C-alpha cells in the first residue's frame, strides 16, 4: 500500500480566487468601457428590447441633430447615447468580474501532457486528446490531465486552482472520495485516473464558461420579466406615437427629438438596463461563495425552495458524537469514573475516544496522559467481536463499550451488573444519546463504574438558522441513518421541522418525490454515488466537490468547499436575486410619475397655460425640464449599478414584512427620488448657456 508522505510546500502562491467583490469599484467602469461600446452593435442590443428602443431613438435623434442643430437637441442626443452606454456598462462590469476569475482558471488549465496507459505500457499525449474511459497515471508534482475517478492508489491533491483552498485533500480509489478534477495537482504518491469527461467538457471548462457568462441563458423568471418590460415599452411607444395628432389639434407641434426624449423617460430603462447585470451578479455571488451553479434556472429555483433536506452528520451536527457527561453508579465518584474512562480511551484514536479524554480534562481536571507514560500497560483495541476497548495496567483491567458487551464481560469476570446501570443506559438511549458503559476488574472481580454519555453535538447557531428558514416558509427535514429515537432527539435539539430516520437512498428519493407531488420544491446536498438519483430528482441538488463524479454530474450545483450548510446561503442568494429584480422594476415604474410632471407641462403649458400647475417642481424652462428628466434617467442607471451587482439588502423574514419594506424603499422611494433628483439637476442645467 502506498504511504502518504507529507505534502511538499506548494510552489505557486495560493491562487487569489475571489475577485474584488462586494464593494463596487468605480475603476471597473472605465476598464469596462470598451466592452460597453462594443455592445452598441444593434445585433447585440436587440436582445434587450427596452434598450434597443433607446438606441433606435438615439440614432434617429442624432440624424435630426445634424439638420436641427441646437444646444438643446445635442444635449438630448448625447444623453440618449449615454443612457445606452450606461446600460451596456452595467452589463460589462458584471461580466468583467467573472472574466478575472476565468483568467485564473485558464492558468490552471495549462497545456498538460497525459501519461495514458496502453496495453503495452504508457504513452505521452496532449491532455486535450484524452477520450472518455482512458486510464492515465499521475504522480507527485504532476497536473491531473482531465476529470475522472481514481481507480488505483491514493494521493494528496492540491485543488486550490478551483477551490481557492490551499490545504491539500486526499483522493483515493473506491468510495466517495474518488473524483479528481483536471487542472489540479497531485502533491504526493501515484494514482491511476479513469477519464470521465469528453475533451472540452471538463469541469474546469464549464466553470470558465459559467463565470465568463458565455453559457449564460436567460432564466425563466428573467424571460417573464422581459416580456412584461417589452409590453410596457410597447404601451408607452403607442402613448408617444399617438400624441402628435392629439397635440396638433391643440396647435402644439412636437418634434421627433422631444418625442424620443419622452419615450425614453417613460419606458422602464432603469430595470431594462440593469436586468442582465443583476442576473450575472447573482451567479457571481454564488461563485464568490465557491458554489458553481450549472444553470441560472437552479439559482432561481433555490429562491423558491419549500423543503430543505439536510444530512444530519456534518450539516446539522458536528461530524462525530462527543462525550457530554460521565454518570457514575452509586458508590463511585465522578473522578473515579472520569479517570477510568480516560484510561480506557488513551489508545482510542476515534473522534469519540478523543472526546472522552477531552471531557475528562476539561470537565474533571484530569491531566491528559499519553500512552507512552504507561509502558507496562497493554491496550485492548476495539474489535467487532468484543465491541469493547480498554487497557490492562497494574493488574487492573478497564473496559468501555456497548452496554450489552460490557455487561457480559462483568458477568464473566465474577461481577454482577447493577440494575440501576440499566436505568442510566436506557435513559441515555431514550434521550437520543449513545451510552458507553465503563467497568473495571480488580483482583478477578468486575464491577461497573458508570456510563459515558456520547451525544451528537449540534453546530452552534443552527436553531436560529432553522427559525429563520421557518419564517421564510421553508421546511427543514433532517436525514439520518440513526434510529428514530436518536433522530428525534437531535431533530428537537436542532429545531428542524421533521426528520427521516434510518434513511436509505431509496427513502430519500421517495421523500423528495412525495414533497414534489405536493408542489413543493426540494433542495438537498449529497456526495456519494448513491445520492446521485436523489440529487438529480431534487429541484436544487448541491453536490459536494469531494464527492464522486456521478454525484457532481447529477446535481445542478457544485459546492467547491464541500460545506453542506451552504445550502442555506444558496437559498438566500436565489431569493436576493429575485428581490433585486422586483425592487428595481418597482423603482423604475414608480420613477415615471415624476418624469410626467417634468415633461408634460414643458410640452404643453405654452398652449394651455393652466397646465403649468402640473409643473410642481417649478422647473426653470421647458428645455431644462426635458434635459433634466433625460439626464436623471441616465444617471439613475449608473447610480444603481452597485446595488444591482451587490443585490438589495436581504434579511430573512416573512413575505409580508419583506414586501412592506421593499415597497416602502423602492416603491415610495421610487416615487419621491426623481422629484428631488430632477429638481436638483434642473438647478444645475439651467446654468448651461444655450439652454433657455
Partner 1 sequence: MSDAAAGLLQVGLLVACLAVAYRPLGGYMARVYTSESDLRVERGAYRLFGVDARADQTWAVYARSLIAFSAVSMFLLYILQRVQSHLPLSLGLPNVESGLAFNTAASFVANTNWQSYSPEATMGHLVQFAGLAVQNFLSAAVGITVAIAVIRGFARSKTDRLGNFWVDLTRTVLRVLLPIAVIGTLALVAMGVVQNFSGGHEVTSVVGQAQTIPGGPVASQEVIKELGTNGGGFYNANSAHPFENPNGLSNLFEIFLLLLIPVSLTRTFGLMVKDKRQGYAILGVMGTLWAAFTFAATFFEVRGNSLEGKETRFGEWASALFASSTTGTSTGAVNSAHDSFTPLGGGTALFHMMLGEVSPGGTGTGLYGMLILAVLTVFIAGLMVGRTPEYLRKKITAREMKLVSLYILTTPTVVLVGASIAMGLAVARASIFNTDSPHGFTEVLYAFTSAGNNNGSAFGGLSANTPFYNTALGIVMLLGRFLPIVLALALAGSLAKQQPVPVTQGTLPTHKALFVTMLVGVVLIVTGLTYFPALTLGPLAEGL
- Could you list the active site residues? 311
Tell me if 43 contacts partner 1 by CB under 8 A: no
Burial profile 620-643: b = 16 or more Cβ within 10 angstroms, e = fewer: bebbbbbbbbbbbbbbbbbebbeb
The residue within the footprint of partner 1, chosen from 4, 209, 658, 688 (CB under 8 A), is 658
The residue within the footprint of partner 1, chosen from 20, 319, 404, 473 (CB under 8 A), is 473
CA–CA dist 338, 438 (Å, integer):
9
Tell me if 624 contacts partner 1 by CB under 8 A: no
User: Nearest-CA neighbor of 678 among 623, 622, 619, 637?
Assistant: 619
Minimum distance from residue 534 beta carbon to partner 1 (Å): 20
Which residues make up each annotated binding site for Mg(2+)? 527, 531
Which residues make up each annotated binding site? 348, 352, 382-389, 400, 527, 531
- C-beta of 390 vs 574, nearer to partner 1: 574
Tell me if 242 contacts partner 1 by CB under 8 A: yes
Tell me if 663 contacts partner 1 by CB under 8 A: yes
CA–CA dist 692, 686 (Å, integer):
7
- Taking a C-beta distance cutoff of 8 angstroms, is the pair 317, 457 a contact? yes
CA–CA dist 35, 31 (Å, integer):
8
- C-beta of 452 vs 590, nearer to partner 1: 590
CA–CA dist 240, 233 (Å, integer):
10
Q: What residues numbered 572-611 form the site for partner 1, per CB under 8 A?
A: 574-576, 578-579, 581-583, 585-586, 589-590, 592-593, 596, 600, 604, 607-608, 610-611
For strands 388-393 and 475-479, give the pairing: unpaired
The residue within the footprint of partner 1, chosen from 654, 672, 684, 692 (CB under 8 A), is 654
Tell me if 476 contacts partner 1 by CB under 8 A: no
Minimum distance from residue 596 beta carbon to partner 1 (Å): 5
Determine the distance from the C-alpha atom of residue 55 to the mean position of all C-alpha atoms in its chain, rounded to a whole number: 36
* 612: CB partners within 8 A, 6+ apart: 601, 605
Burial profile 667-677: b = 16 or more Cβ within 10 angstroms, e = fewer: eebbbebbbeb
Q: What residues numbered 193-232 form the site for partner 1, per CB under 8 A?
A: 220-221, 223-225, 227-228, 230-231
The residue within the footprint of partner 1, chosen from 30, 655, 672, 684 (CB under 8 A), is 655
* 172: CB partners within 8 A, 6+ apart: 150, 153, 154, 155, 178
The residue within the footprint of partner 1, chosen from 249, 385, 394, 460 (CB under 8 A), is 249
User: Nearest-CA neighbor of 147 among 99, 184, 119?
Assistant: 184
Minimum distance from residue 614 beta carbon to partner 1 (Å): 7
CA–CA dist 24, 641 (Å, integer):
8
- C-beta of 209 vs 663, nearer to partner 1: 663
Determine the distance from the C-alpha atom of residue 469 to the mean position of all C-alpha atoms in its chain, rounded to a whole number: 16
Report helix, strand or coil for 318.
strand
User: Nearest-CA neighbor of 399 among 431, 370, 411, 429?
Assistant: 411
Minimum distance from residue 664 beta carbon to partner 1 (Å): 10
Give Cα separations from 54 to 50, 57, 58, 218, 223 (angstroms): 7, 5, 6, 21, 20
- C-beta of 250 vs 365, nearer to partner 1: 250
- C-beta of 193 vs 598, nearer to partner 1: 598
DSSP 529: G
- C-beta of 406 vs 578, nearer to partner 1: 578
Which residues make up each annotated binding site for ATP? 348, 352, 382-389, 400
Q: What residues numbered 447-466 form the site for partner 1, per CB under 8 A?
A: none
Q: How is residue 559 written as a grid cell?
A: 459546492
Name residue, grid cell 501532457.
Answer: 113
Q: What residues numbered 514-543 form the site for partner 1, per CB under 8 A?
A: 518-520
- C-beta of 95 vs 539, nearer to partner 1: 539
Q: Work out the burial of residue 375: count CB atoms within 10 Å of its CB; fewer than 13 is exposed, 13-18 middle, 19 or more buried.
A: exposed
Q: Specify the stretch interacting with partner 1 by CB under 8 A; choose among 65-73, 309-317, 343-351, 659-667.
A: 659-667
Q: How is residue 39 written as a grid cell?
A: 455592445
Tell me if 253 contacts partner 1 by CB under 8 A: no
- C-beta of 166 vs 231, nearer to partner 1: 231
Q: Specify the stretch interacting with partner 1 by CB under 8 A; choose among 115-123, 446-454, 556-564, 650-658.
A: 650-658
- Taking a C-beta distance cutoff of 8 angstroms, is the pair 10, 70 a contact? no
Tell me if 248 contacts partner 1 by CB under 8 A: yes
The residue within the footprint of partner 1, chosen from 142, 156, 662, 673 (CB under 8 A), is 662
The residue within the footprint of partner 1, chosen from 324, 393, 614, 639 (CB under 8 A), is 614
Minimum distance from residue 589 beta carbon to partner 1 (Å): 7
Minimum distance from residue 463 beta carbon to partner 1 (Å): 17
CA–CA dist 314, 459 (Å, integer):
9
Amino acid at each position: 500500500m502506498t504511504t502518504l508522505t507529507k505534502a511538499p510546500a506548494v510552489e505557486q502562491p495560493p491562487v487569489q480566487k475571489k475577485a474584488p467583490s462586494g464593494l463596487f469599484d468605480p475603476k471597473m467602469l472605465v476598464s469596462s468601457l470598451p466592452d460597453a461600446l462594443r455592445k452598441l452593435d444593434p445585433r447585440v442590443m436587440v436582445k434587450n428590447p427596452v434598450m434597443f428602443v433607446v438606441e433606435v431613438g438615439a440614432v434617429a435623434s442624432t440624424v435630426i441633430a445634424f439638420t436641427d442643430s441646437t444646444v438643446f437637441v445635442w444635449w438630448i442626443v448625447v444623453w440618449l447615447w449615454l443612457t445606452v452606454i450606461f446600460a451596456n456598462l452595467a452589463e460589462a462590469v458584471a461580466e468583467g468580474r467573472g472574466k478575472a476569475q476565468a483568467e485564473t482558471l485558464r492558468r490552471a488549465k495549462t497545456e498538460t501532457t497525459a501519461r495514458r496507459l496502453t496495453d503495452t505500457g504508457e504513452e505521452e499525449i496532449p491532455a486535450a486528446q484524452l477520450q472518455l474511459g482512458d486510464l492515465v497515471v499521475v504522480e507527485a508534482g504532476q497536473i491531473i490531465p482531465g476529470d475522472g475517478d481514481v481507480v488505483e492508489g491514493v494521493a494528496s491533491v492540491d485543488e486550490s486552482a478551483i477551490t481557492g483552498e490551499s490545504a491539500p485533500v486526499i483522493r483515493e480509489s473506491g468510495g466517495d472520495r474518488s473524483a479528481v478534477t483536471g487542472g489540479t495537482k497531485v502533491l504526493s504518491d501515484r494514482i491511476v485516473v479513469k477519464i470521465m469527461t469528453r475533451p472540452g467538457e471538463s469541469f474546469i471548462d464549464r466553470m470558465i464558461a459559467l463565470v465568463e457568462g458565455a453559457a449564460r441563458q436567460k432564466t425563466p423568471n428573467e424571460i417573464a420579466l422581459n416580456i412584461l418590460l417589452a409590453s410596457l415599452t410597447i404601451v408607452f411607444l403607442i402613448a408617444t406615437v399617438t400624441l402628435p395628432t392629439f397635440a396638433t389639434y391643440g396647435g402644439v407641434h412636437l418634434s421627433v427629438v422631444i418625442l424620443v426624449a419622452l419615450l425614453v423617460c417613460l419606458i422602464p430603462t432603469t430595470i431594462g438596463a440593469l436586468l442582465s447585470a443583476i442576473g450575472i451578479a447573482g451567479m457571481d455571488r454564488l461563485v464568490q461563495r465557491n458554489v458553481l451553479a450549472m444553470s441560472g434556472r437552479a439559482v432561481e429555483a433555490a429562491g423558491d425552495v419549500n423543503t430543505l433536506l439536510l444530512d444530519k452528520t456534518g450539516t446539522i451536527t458536528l461530524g462525530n458524537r462527543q462525550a457530554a457527561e460521565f454518570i457514575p453508579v452509586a458508590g463511585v465518584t465522578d473522578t473515579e469514573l472520569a479517570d477510568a474512562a480516560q484510561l480506557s480511551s488513551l489508545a482510542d484514536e476515534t473522534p469519540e475516544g478523543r472526546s472522552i479524554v477531552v471531557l475528562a480534562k476539561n470537565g474533571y481536571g484530569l491531566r491528559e496522559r499519553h500512552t507512552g507514560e504507561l509502558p507496562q500497560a497493554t491496550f485492548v483495541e476495539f474489535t467487532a467481536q468484543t465491541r469493547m476497548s480498554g487497557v490492562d495496567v497494574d493488574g487492573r483491567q478497564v473496559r468501555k463499550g456497548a452496554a450489552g458487551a460490557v455487561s457480559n464481560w462483568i458477568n464473566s469476570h465474577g461481577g454482577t451488573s447493577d440494575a440501576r446501570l440499566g436505568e442510566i443506559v436506557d435513559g441515555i438511549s431514550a434521550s437520543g444519546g449513545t451510552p458507553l458503559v465503563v467497568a473495571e476488574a480488580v483482583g478477578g472481580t468486575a464491577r461497573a463504574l458508570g456510563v459515558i454519555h456520547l451525544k451528537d453535538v449540534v453546530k452552534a447557531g443552527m436553531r436560529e438558522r432553522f427559525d429563520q428558514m421557518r419564517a421564510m416558509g421553508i421546511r427543514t427535514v433532517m436525514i439520518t441513518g440513526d434510529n428514530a429515537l436518536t433522530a428525534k432527539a437531535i431533530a428537537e435539539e436542532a429545531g428542524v421541522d421533521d426528520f427521516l430516520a434510518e434513511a436509505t437512498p431509496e427513502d430519500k428519493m421517495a421523500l423528495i418525490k412525495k414533497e414534489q407531488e405536493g408542489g413543493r420544491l426540494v433542495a438537498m446536498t449529497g456526495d456519494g454515488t448513491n445520492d446521485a438519483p436523489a440529487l438529480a430528482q431534487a429541484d436544487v441538488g448541491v453536490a459536494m466537490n469531494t464527492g464522486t463524479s456521478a454525484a457532481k454530474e447529477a446535481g445542478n450545483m457544485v459546492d467547491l468547499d464541500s460545506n453542506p450548510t451552504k445550502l442555506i446561503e444558496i437559498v438566500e442568494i436565489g431569493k436576493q436575486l429575485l428581490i433585486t429584480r422586483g425592487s428595481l422594476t418597482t423603482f423604475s415604474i414608480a420613477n415615471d410619475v415624476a418624469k410626467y410632471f417634468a415633461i408634460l407641462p414643458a410640452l404643453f403649458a405654452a398652449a394651455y397655460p393652466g397646465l403649468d400647475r402640473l409643473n410642481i417642481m417649478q422647473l426653470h424652462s421647458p428645455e431644462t425640464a426635458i434635459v433634466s428628466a433625460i439626464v436623471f434617467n441616465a444617471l439613475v442607471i449608473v447610480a444603481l449599478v452597485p446595488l444591482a451587482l451587490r443585490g438589495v439588502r436581504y434579511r430573512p423574514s416573512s413575505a409580508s414584512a419583506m414586501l412592506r419594506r421593499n415597497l416602502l424603499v423602492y416603491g415610495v422611494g421610487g416615487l419621491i427620488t426623481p422629484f428631488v433628483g430632477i429638481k436638483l439637476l434642473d438647478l444645475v442645467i439651467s446654468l448651461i448657456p444655450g439652454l433657455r
